[in-house]
Amino acid sequence: MLSQSKTAKLLERCVDEECPELAMEEILSAYVAWKFIRGQSCALVMQKLRYLTIYLRVTGRQWVLERIRQVLMVIATELSLGGGLIGACPGNTSLGKQVWNDLRRKLSTTSYTSNTDPEYGGP
């Protein structure tokens, strides 16, 4: 659902939002949550974020990287601590709400096997 190219396009659209950094954080959180839902580990999701930054650089979107530098650090720190709070904040921007609603719709129509942490009642 959220590929590198789609995420990059969404990050570009954040400029039109009232608070672009918040919208970018919501989109990156949805990107990370989608990777978790597909069963990837924190280490692999960190690698995917790195690939996303390379993709942004190669496609000439350095200005997006400059805007999301702090957001990437926050998300990377959260991932290094286990990623438990990714997506915990409600969507506040129209673009963020749209992305999260699309993610929820996709989840409701497709069954995904997800691994849960034993700390939160998983196996």
Q: Where are the domains of the chain?
A: 4-105
Residue 15 CA to residue 23 CA, distance in Å, equals 9
- Contact criterion met (CB below 8 Å) for 68 and 24: yes
Please give the backbone phi and psi of residue 88, each rounded to the nearest 5 degrees, phi first: -75, -25
Helix locations, the chain, DSSP H: 4-13, 20-37, 42-58, 62-80, 94-109
Residue 38 CA to residue 40 CA, distance in Å, equals 6
Look at residue 123 and tell me whether its pLDDT is greater than 70.
no
Angstrom CA distances, 20 to 9, 17, 24, 80, 123, stand at 14, 5, 6, 25, 39
Look at residue 116 and tell me whether its pLDDT is greater than 80.
no
pLDDT band at 115 (very low <50, low <70, confident <90, very high): low
pLDDT score, position 35: 87
Residue 115 CA to residue 113 CA, distance in Å, equals 7
Residue 71 CA to residue 29 CA, distance in Å, equals 10
pLDDT tens per residue, range 14-47: 888 888 888 998 999 899 888 888 888 888 989 9
